[in-house]
Each structure stands twice: as structure tokens, then as C-alpha cells.
Amino acid sequence: GLELSHCVGTNSLGPAGPWRSGGPCKMKRVRTVFKPEQLERLEQEFLKQQYMVGTERVDLAATLHLTETQVKVWFQNRRIKWRKQSMEQKAAKLSQFGVIQPASADSTDSKDREEDTVDVEL
């Protein structure tokens, strides 16, 4: 279920969703806090494969005592972090060789924009 952390603001910004009421008080989901053992296992799995789908995700979620959605969102967020780190490493290498990157190099493709960081607790 949803847990209220507090009411935010008095006006509704955007459509109502599973985390917002239709009224003036928005409900906010509580951020998932992963145990170190869970994070270690998630990172191990990410090193093997960056996309966890189907029964693999269900099995991993059950093993870690998490919901499938929590595992899915963790992998989405981890891919975003990995792409950002890769871009920063590439930029650092280019700057070592005196190559100046154009300003648009920091822009992301449409898939990255769709995969914004999301914290979900079910």
C-alpha cells in the first residue's frame, strides 16, 4: 500500500496518479531503503546483464524479499547511472587529448528521458 510521508503543497500539479490524491494534498511514496546484501546482489546481477526481465526478475525479487517493481526500478535507475558514468569517462578521455566536446554531447536520447529516476515502494 501507500504510506504517507507528508502532504506537499496545496495545489495539484498534473494528473492524479497512484501516488497522488485528487484533492489538494499529494500523497508521497516512501523511498525504498535497500539492505547492503540486497545492493550487493543487485550489483552482481547488473554486471552480468543490464536488463533483468521475466522470470529472472521475479526470481531475483523473491530471493531478495523485494517486489518485482522494486527490482525493475532499481535496474532502470542503475542503467541511467551507468550511462552517465560512461559519458563522463568518455568526456574525461577526450579532454585528455585536447578534444573539446560540443555542448549537445550531454543531451540524452529519448529512451533516457523516458527512463527518469523513480522511487517506488509497494
pLDDT, tens only, 75-87? 999 999 999 999 9
Q: Residue 7 domain-assigned?
A: no
Q: Using CB atoms within 10 A of its CB, is residue 46 exposed (0-12), middle (13-18) or buried (19+)?
A: middle
The number of domains in the chain is 1
Q: For residues 86 and 117, what is the distance between their CA atoms, to the nearest angstrom?
A: 17
Residue 23 lies inside a defined structural domain of this protein: no
The enclosing domain of 49 has a CATH number of 1.10.10.60
Which three three-digit cell numbers place residue 92? 574525461
Domain that holds residue 45: 36-94
0.75 surpassed by pTM: no
Give the model confidence (pLDDT) of 38-75 as tens digits.
999 999 999 999 998 899 999 999 999 999 999 999 99
